[in-house]
Structure formats: structure tokens, C-alpha cells
Amino acid sequence: MATQDLISKTAGSVLSARITPANERRANRRCKITQLMRIRPSDPERDNFEDLRGSMSVSRTGVYFQTSEGAYELGMRLFATMPYTEGAMAMSHEYLAEVVRVENMSNGMVGIGFKFLMQMGSISSHSYGISVSRK
């Protein structure tokens, strides 16, 4: 019987460690990774901007970062290129994303969270020197 009590207490402490606050909506763990991103609105009717920022945390389903750009709104659709680099052998991925969090920070920046909706494709800036012209 003492063994059963020990197992119950151990299982109870493990379960209570996994309980998250009620306002926590994240389903995936986040990694604190700084990765350069190129972010721009996908809606052609919005004012165009290009925001080059480093991520603060990344999960399988989304990204959080801080910016000084004030044009972000909840529900706004974005094109996000990650990791963004202009190197000759760069291999980036472009995603369609949606803003799910906008919070004003005490330092004057704006905290933005977006979720990935779909991968648009891979972007390679490498040129093999082949030029095709059509007449």
C-alpha cells in the first residue's frame, strides 16, 4: 500500500508541473532563437512596408518578435521569409502568416506574434550562371 501511495504522489506532482495558466494558449514549446526575418504585408491594398527583424522566440507554429513598425494589426496576413539572408548560397523559406498578438512594450517597441498558415516555397538566391532569354 505504501508503494501505491508513493506512485500516486509522484504522478500527482508530475501532472501539476504540466498544468499551464488559463491564459496560456500556446500548444507547442518555444525556443529562444534569434533568426533574421523579412516580413511584409501580403495584402496589396495595405500600405507596403518591409520589416527586417530578429525573432525572439520560435515554435513549430509561430514566431514572436519586437519591432518599431506600427502598422501591424491583429488578423493581418504577412509574408515572412526565414531565415533571411542575402548570401550567394542562401536558402530561405517564405511563409504566409497571420498576426495573432500585438502588444505595446514599455520600451516603445511593439511585440508581435504570428502563426504560420502555410509554406509558400523555398527561396534560393544562388545563380548557376545560366541565362534564358525568350524572343
CATH number for position 108:
2.40.10.220
Residue 130 within a domain: no
Give the number of domains in the chain: 1
Q: What confidence score (pLDDT) does residue 121 get?
A: 74
pTM of the model: 0.67
Residue 64 lies in a domain: yes
Which of 27, 36, 99 is CA-nearest to residue 61?
Answer: 27
Longest alpha-carbon distance in the chain = 87
In this prediction, residue 13 carries a pLDDT of 42
- Return the pLDDT at 122: 73
Which amino acid appears at position 50 of this protein?
Answer: E
Torsional sign, CA 19, 25, 29, 30? negative
Q: Which ranges in 1-135 belong to alpha helices (H)?
A: 2-18
Is residue 24 included in any domain, yes or no?
no
pLDDT at 22: 56
Residue range(s) defining the domain that contains residue 72: 29-123
Q: What is the pLDDT along the chain (135 residues), one digit of tens a residue?
A: 444 444 444 444 444 444 445 555 555 566 787 889 999 999 988 889 999 999 999 998 999 999 999 999 999 999 999 988 876 566 788 999 999 999 999 999 999 999 999 998 776 554 444 444 444
